[in-house]
């Protein structure tokens, strides 16, 4: 009953097999190997973006921070939701990588920036006033940290506002695949066609060991990105092992199948919980936020169910009857039996 | 009718005379001169703080940013009001100097952090969680950006909360003298006795050319501060000219007299405006925020009255009858006649 | 004939097997898994350092830069050889991570800092002078970039000089295992007993996929290191895969066997080349630097021999008879046959 | 007998008078005053550079670091002489402001970069190699730290090499006026016509209180410079006081007269010393480096002569008969009588 995070899962067999094959013999380092070349070509095809540049790193925090640093000067304002991963969970990585840019919150329900709030916030920004940080980038996350999903048209609207103010758009796609299969559109539709300028295509939460691709749709800043990556110690020497995984992941749409399975498991879990628990947000993919009494939570944890309370700091203590909010995440490796076990445990009489 | 800022004023005669005297002959550079030594002694006396270390810089932004960088690691969270000068008006100087620390907003009415909000915010901070920035400093401003004033007991209460969480306290005292004379307490009462660990004692807005003293009550970090100051290009070679000004300013309580005059002029202005305008905040010293119709504002500007709308971005346009908010600041050099002229103009029939 | 770098090799079977086993089931992320706990214990045993803290990252540049940033303030001087990897090959990673510290060259033949030069350089440093960067750390590399080796007594002497000046000692051990087996001493002898305060224990160049352990012998700075690692995006979520590799590597002394093999292959290569080429440096482990005519180099490259010229910028062009300097690196996976093939090719008539 | 530095002098009468006049009444802050506007126009005229942008700060370290940060990315290499002020005397300010760029030494006698060394160093730089910092700027100093002077043709030659490699040229002109009058050319000849892209025009060492103008000949980066200046806390609010000084300084060529006097005093000092002391460098302006026995040095210091040994760390102790190297600097305020007194003291029998 592991629902703590999709990063507690391992790698599916086809990824392993690809990794094993990549181990044969010698290969040039730092991305000069043939697998990396093939992967770059493959991502361009999958995204219908022949000019895109693609660079691999091994964590989402690194991918986001490097992307933002390439888009934003040190005196820039990066507009994001107050719950965004870059704001809450990266120990200030964007500030470190950008040389001290400021993350400015934009309001919106359910973890999603609202167009009206974005317009208002940008309108009040002191562009051209030397005393103020300067508007520099919009950062979206899909799926959001609340497990909700921006539709393609919502991304398009927000990106249009950003572009109208001269801001490029970064998309934190740690769960891009989960959003994509739920939305049922093409990778291009949810990225550059909607106005995304730089995408973090997350593999780690969807079956890879630690592989994230930064997809730069406008190659003008590609060389800068490469220098930033190296300078941050994020240029792997044995690069073939990263490329091999992601190639196998894209092959035959495996990445989408893995994400679809995770979403399906979340749907099943949600359906089973719905009669007994309050759902906090409309599910966008493979994450559920639900409320139940602390006493039930205590019993579930004791029985081995693993999940986080959210936000964790609000839950330090409280009466048994008071509700707590639980975050449950499924993955490619979640089995139906695990969902069933969890639901059975939940419905057990105390 | 110059009410735009207290930094539009020049220097009073006694400061000029001191500056002129300081010009005679040669003097060692970088603070090794006798005037600087005397000033350090004098500030220790005025603040009843014999162990304090004192360093001069020439802008408030530099003083604040250097102080915060000395108190905060790059992964630190600095707690401040969302209207604080360090957040709004310094183009990200704290982020630059700290190497990317995060300014976290704490709520409170009238530009003042509320103790309850501070407790709640610190309670929700992820201290000890490696994914989160770490609580590092509390930053207060007195007078606040709304022209309101923290009382000594309010500072004491907030500092106690900060200290209980292990955070040192920075006080942006760009208008410390104005707050001090309004509060009617001693410099020690409003600084280290109330729990302030590092004070920016502002001279520039109260009659000096560009002189701010950073008063470090705990000297353990003094050497680090000196290195940071030099490294930032804020160590003046002809240091005697800074010290001379501040020595004359402290002499015979001149600094308090200058601030008292500024506050008196603000009181007179407020009294004259009160029947005709809505005051937005309780006046704490030498700043007034008042609302009147845009049409009146237009007429006043045309007649040469100088002041800012606040916050300026909300006022880009609007109907003549809609109210705008004006910020009026008096200084040591504001004359009664100027106040009278402003009020007369205001009350003139259209 | 792959002698370009030890990072062009893959992973040996026992590492793969461990990796495969680690893939079973779910595991908590970010180092909270049992493999990571076991690895930390194991490294403490291997280094006879029960209080050491151990943190994993995936590149040597990251490990070095994080270690140095933990040891050095932004205004610090890091003393290193002008050929050090941190100076030459990391695109300024130490400067980025430290917030702008300065790498100061210390002379010495064959890529090794000389004690006399270190003493002289430290003697001329402006410690306590606010206009100068402040001496902060000594950084050594073993094996050096010239393939030479510091003996234990040489490290001890240099570390003693550093400590006498209050500087901690960092050791870039990208090829620590190669140096260790060549020197024939214990891990403790070549690290903390010799005065090393922070060691980068390199796995990547000796059979791992991308695993470097930072071993912090004085745990006082361990929490800071963790925050820096996370903030840099170097905290892996699927941490078990890093720990599993290094555990298997240490198991039964495999790491030493792998390094010994690499060294043996280098010895064999050196012996075969010696009659025909000038050796530039005394071989310390698995690297050889040799000179031969450009015409021969051209023929070798054409025949598929892979190695770098060194330093590469000096070799852009030149007459066929002029000598070039070649850098040859062997690894755990270099086979005798490959060495033989290389030597045979070399000795072939033109 | 104050020959320690030209920054131990005060301000000449005409500067004071201008400063006093500037104190009348109110003036808008942050450079929006009329004096600043006039100064900008005046500098454009003096430099025959109608498109130049001009920004004021109050220290040379700030001016240099802000200029270099505007010219150089964080991963850049700045080429300078190993004795350059930016390398030796600014506590790492360039590294701080640039976000960790690297200062790379270029050889040359007498504190001057040699064209051959520059060509060789740039040729060996790893441009386009992601593992290396990237060539970004050439930084010259005139007068140099050895008191020598680059001729216009020497600057032209070095700048041409830099430009051929795509590097902009920064000139640290802390003693630009001294160099200019010695060289006898126009300000344009020694700056943009010779290939200088960004000039720090130093006023502080030549009669101003703390005023340095950064002259940006290509205005494309002017807005970035302004943001960096503000963010660093170097945008003065009471800006009129800076502009007033420099306006008076340029008026009627006062700046050149002041520098000429300083140079003349140095020439007189040199002439008097020549029979008795070894001169270390060819004098370029107002600095002399001379050697005499430690015993004489001790007697001079005891008699009140103020000057530095150079480099100071080499002189900590030594036998009385061994020579020391003295650095003597004259200024606008050095009087003939002081020179005479110094020479008389020197020639006194022991």
What is the arithmetic mean of pLDDT over D235-241?
97
Q: pLDDT at residue B249 above 70?
A: yes
- Asked if C98 has any chain A CB less than 8 Å from its own CB, the reply is no
Q: pLDDT at residue D1 above 80?
A: no
Per-residue pLDDT tens for A272-315? Answer: 998 889 999 999 999 999 999 999 999 999 999 999 998 865 56
- Asked if A237 has any chain D CB less than 8 Å from its own CB, the reply is no
Q: pLDDT at residue B140 above 80?
A: yes
The reported pLDDT for the residue numbered B197 is 98
Question: How far is it, in rounded angstroms, from Cα C298 to Cα C350?
Answer: 11
Q: pLDDT at residue D318 above 80?
A: no
- Asked if D96 has any chain C CB less than 8 Å from its own CB, the reply is yes
Which residue in chain B has the smallest CA separation from C127? B227
Per-residue pLDDT tens for D161-185? Answer: 999 999 999 999 999 999 999 999 9
pLDDT tier at C322 (50, 70, 90 boundaries)?
confident
What is the arithmetic mean of pLDDT over B180-208?
98
Question: Are D227 and A134 inside 8 Å of each other by CB?
Answer: yes
Rg, Å, chain C Cα set = 21
Per-residue pLDDT tens for D33-88? Answer: 999 999 999 999 999 999 999 999 999 999 999 999 999 999 999 999 999 999 99
- Asked if C227 has any chain B CB less than 8 Å from its own CB, the reply is yes
What is the arithmetic mean of pLDDT over C195-203?
98
Question: Are C7 and A25 inside 8 Å of each other by CB?
Answer: no
Question: Are D134 and A227 inside 8 Å of each other by CB?
Answer: yes
- Asked if C74 has any chain B CB less than 8 Å from its own CB, the reply is yes
SS3 assignment, position A285: coil
Question: Kind of pairing, strands C323-329 and D53-57?
Answer: unpaired
B110 touches B148 (CB < 8 A)? yes
Question: How far is it, in rounded angstroms, from Cα D153 to Cα D117?
Answer: 17
Which residue in chain B has the smallest CA separation from D17? B20
DSSP assignment letter at D339? H
> Domain A255-347, CATH 3.90.1150.10 — does that match?
yes
Q: Mean pLDDT across chain D, nearest whole number?
A: 95
* Pairs of CB atoms within 8 A across A/B: 69
What is the arithmetic mean of pLDDT over A233-256?
98
Alpha helices in chain C (DSSP H): 13-22, 34-46, 60-71, 85-88, 93-98, 115-124, 152-164, 176-183, 222-231, 240-250, 254-273, 294-302, 336-347
Q: Mean pLDDT across chain C, nearest whole number?
A: 95
Q: How many residues does chain B have?
A: 350
The reported pLDDT for the residue numbered A312 is 65
The burial class, CB within 10 Å (0-12 / 13-18 / 19+), for D171 is buried
The reported pLDDT for the residue numbered B319 is 83
Q: pLDDT at residue B240 above 70?
A: yes
ipTM of the complex: 0.96
The reported pLDDT for the residue numbered D200 is 98
Question: How far is it, in rounded angstroms, from Cα C5 to Cα C320?
Answer: 25
DSSP characters over C155-203: HHHHHHHHHHTT--EEEEETTHHHHHHHHT--TTTTTGGGT-SEEEEE-
Q: pLDDT at residue B131 above 70?
A: yes
User: Which helix (DSSP H) or strand (DSSP E) does residue D154 occupy?
Assistant: helix D152-164
Please state the domain extents for chain A: 12-252, 255-347
Q: Mean pLDDT across chain B, nearest whole number?
A: 95
Which residue in chain C has the smallest CA separation from D82? C104
Subunits in contact with chain D (3 or more CB pairs closer than 8 Å) = A, B, C
Question: Are B226 and C130 inside 8 Å of each other by CB?
Answer: yes
Q: pLDDT at residue D321 above 90?
A: no
Q: Mean pLDDT across chain A, nearest whole number?
A: 95
Tokens of B297: 């504002």
- Asked if C98 has any chain D CB less than 8 Å from its own CB, the reply is yes
B309 touches B167 (CB < 8 A)? no
Question: How far is it, in rounded angstroms, from Cα D320 to Cα C306?
Answer: 61
Question: How far is it, in rounded angstroms, from Cα B63 to Cα B65?
Answer: 6
Q: Which is higher by pLDDT, D312 or D35?
A: D35
Question: How far is it, in rounded angstroms, from Cα B345 to Cα B323?
Answer: 18
pLDDT tier at C275 (50, 70, 90 boundaries)?
confident
The reported pLDDT for the residue numbered C318 is 77
Distance from CA of B317 to the nearest CA of C (A): 43
Q: Which is higher by pLDDT, D97 or B2?
A: D97
Which H, E and C letters describe chain B, residue by residue?
CECCCHHHCCCCHHHHHHHHHHCCCCCCCCCCCHHHHHHHHHHHHHCCCCCCEEEEECCHHHHHHHHHHHHCCCCEEEEECCCCHHHHCCCCHHHHHHCCCEEEECCCHHHCCCHHHHHHHHHHCCCCCCCCCEEEEEEEECCCCCCCCCCHHHHHHHHHHHHHCCCCEEEEECCHHHHHHHHCCCCCCCCHHHCCCEEEEECHHHCCCCCEEEEECCHHHHHHHHHHHHHCCCCCCCCHHHHHHHHHHHHHHHHHHHHHHHHHHHHHHHHHHCCCCEECCCCCCCEEEEEEEHHHHHHHHHCCCECEECCHHHHCCCCCCCEEEEEEECCCCCCHHHHHHHHHHHHCCC
Q: In chain B, which residues have their Cβ closer than 8 Å to the Cβ of C99? A: 74, 99
What is the arithmetic mean of pLDDT over B149-159?
98
SS3 assignment, position A346: helix
Q: pLDDT at residue C166 above 80?
A: yes
Terminal-to-terminal C-alpha distance of chain A: 19
The reported pLDDT for the residue numbered C350 is 61
Domains C12-254 and C256-347 equal at CATH topology level:
no
Q: pLDDT at residue C172 above 60?
A: yes
A155 touches A140 (CB < 8 A)? yes
Cβ neighbours, 10 Å, residue D163: 14
pLDDT tier at D104 (50, 70, 90 boundaries)?
very high
Question: Are C96 and A232 inside 8 Å of each other by CB?
Answer: yes
Q: Which listed CATH number (2.60.40.10, 3.40.50.720, 3.40.640.10, 3.90.1150.10) goes with A12-252? A: 3.40.640.10
Is the N-terminal amide bond of C262 cis, ω within 30° of 0? no
Q: What is the CATH number of domain B13-252?
A: 3.40.640.10
A63 touches A204 (CB < 8 A)? no
- Asked if C95 has any chain D CB less than 8 Å from its own CB, the reply is yes
The reported pLDDT for the residue numbered B191 is 98
SS3 assignment, position C338: helix
> Domain D13-253, CATH 3.60.10.10 — does that match?
no
SS3 assignment, position C27: coil
Q: Which is higher by pLDDT, A346 or A115?
A: A115
C12-254: CATH topology is 3.40.640
Question: How far is it, in rounded angstroms, from Cα B14 to Cα B253?
Answer: 12
Q: In chain B, which residues have their Cβ closer than 8 Å to the Cβ of D99? A: none
C256-347: CATH topology is 3.90.1150
Per-residue pLDDT tens for A178-197? Answer: 999 999 999 999 999 999 99
What is the arithmetic mean of pLDDT over B207-235?
97
- Asked if A65 has any chain C CB less than 8 Å from its own CB, the reply is yes
Terminal-to-terminal C-alpha distance of chain C: 19
Least confident piece of the model among A316-325, C19-28, C43-52, D179-188: A316-325
* Pairs of CB atoms within 8 A across A/D: 29
Cβ neighbours, 10 Å, residue A120: 13
Question: Are C75 and B228 inside 8 Å of each other by CB?
Answer: yes
The reported pLDDT for the residue numbered D276 is 82
């Amino acid at each position: 009953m592991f629902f703590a995070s999709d990063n507690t899962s391992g790698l599916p067999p086809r990824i392993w097999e690809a990794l094993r094959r990549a181990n044969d013999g010698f290969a040039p380092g730092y991305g000069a190997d043939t697998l990396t070349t093939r992967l770059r070509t493959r991502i361009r095809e999958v995204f219908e973006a022949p000019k895109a540049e693609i660079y691999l790193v091994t964590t989402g925090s690194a991918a986001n921070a490097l992307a933002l640093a390439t888009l934003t000067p040190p005196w820039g304002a990066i507009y994001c939701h107050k719950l965004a991963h870059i704001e809450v969970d990266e120990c200030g990585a964007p500030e470190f990588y950008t040389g001290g840019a400021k993350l400015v919150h934009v309001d919106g329900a359910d973890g999603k920036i609202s167009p009206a709030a974005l317009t208002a916030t940008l309108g009040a920004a002191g562009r051209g006033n030397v005393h103020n940080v300067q508007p520099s980038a919009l950062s979206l996350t899909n799926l959001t940290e609340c497990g909700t999903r921006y539709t393609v048209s919502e991304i398009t609207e927000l990106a249009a506002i950003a572009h109208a103010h001269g801001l490029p758009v970064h998309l934190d796609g740690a769960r891009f695949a989960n959003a994509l299969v739920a939305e049922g559109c093409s990778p291009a539709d949810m990225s550059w066609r909607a106005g995304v300028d730089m995408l973090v295509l997350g593999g780690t939460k969807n079956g890879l060991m630690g592989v994230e691709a930064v997809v730069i749709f406008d190659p003008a800043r590609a060389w800068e990105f490469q220098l930033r990556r190296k300078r941050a110690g994020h240029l792997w020497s044995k690069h073939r092992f990263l490329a091999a995984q992601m190639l196998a992941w894209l092959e035959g749409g495996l990445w989408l199948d893995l994400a679809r399975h995770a979403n399906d498991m979340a749907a099943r879990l949600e359906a089973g919980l719905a009669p007994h628990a309050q759902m906090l947000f409309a599910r966008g993919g493979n994450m559920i936020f639900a409320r139940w009494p602390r006493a039930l939570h205590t019993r579930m944890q004791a029985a081995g169910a693993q999940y986080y309370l959210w936000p964790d700091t609000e839950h330090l203590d409280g009466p048994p009857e008071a509700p707590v909010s639980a975050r449950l995440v499924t993955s490619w490796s979640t089995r139906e039996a695990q969902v069933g076990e969890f639901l059975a445990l939940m419905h057990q009489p105390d």
